[in-house]
Amino acid sequence: MLPALVRIAGITVAALVAYFVMIAIGGDSGANIGAGLAVFAVLAFGAFGWAMRDGLREQLGLGDLLLRWLIVAAVVPVLLTLVISLTTGSDSIGTAIVSTWFFFAALTGLPAVIGASVGNAMRG
């Protein structure tokens, strides 16, 4: 469980840093497309790279790796949306989590499944 918590914290913090840096650079006037794209990139590339590393280095079966990353993909969207909603003063945090959960989970989970599978296959 600890490896999943480390990955949840790492991906969430990296995505939040990308979000807040892009907000600071672009200002707070209107929609900041760059902030959203930065979060998407961190989720997808971060999950792919870290899962591939897990597949190459961890002496776990593919099923255990996929379970770990599916847990990460389920929790990261909730934390990410919760923190962003709280810092932007959103009144409908529950609605924000429900409406973005699947999208963020897919952005994290699908690259992670591919990365873990490729890493595991390369390890042999």
pLDDT level of residue 94 (50, 70, 90 thresholds): confident
Which of 80, 68, 60, 75 has the alpha carbon at shortest distance from 120?
A: 60
Number of domains in the chain: 1
Backbone angles phi, psi at 72, to 5 degrees: -60, -45
How many CB atoms are located within 10 Å of the residue 79 CB? 18
What does pTM read for this prediction?
0.86
**Structure tokens of 73?**
């993909």
Task: Identify the CA nearest to 42 among candidates 68, 13, 65.
Answer: 13
- The per-residue pLDDT for 54 is 94
pLDDT of amino acid 16: 94
Which domain, by its residues, includes 88?
Answer: 2-123
- Is the confidence at residue 31, as pLDDT, over 70? no
Angle (CA) 76-95-89 rounded to 5° is: 85
48 against 99, higher pLDDT? 48
- The more confident residue out of 17 and 35 is 17
Where helices occur in 1-124 by DSSP H, the ranges are 2-26, 33-57, 62-88, 93-123
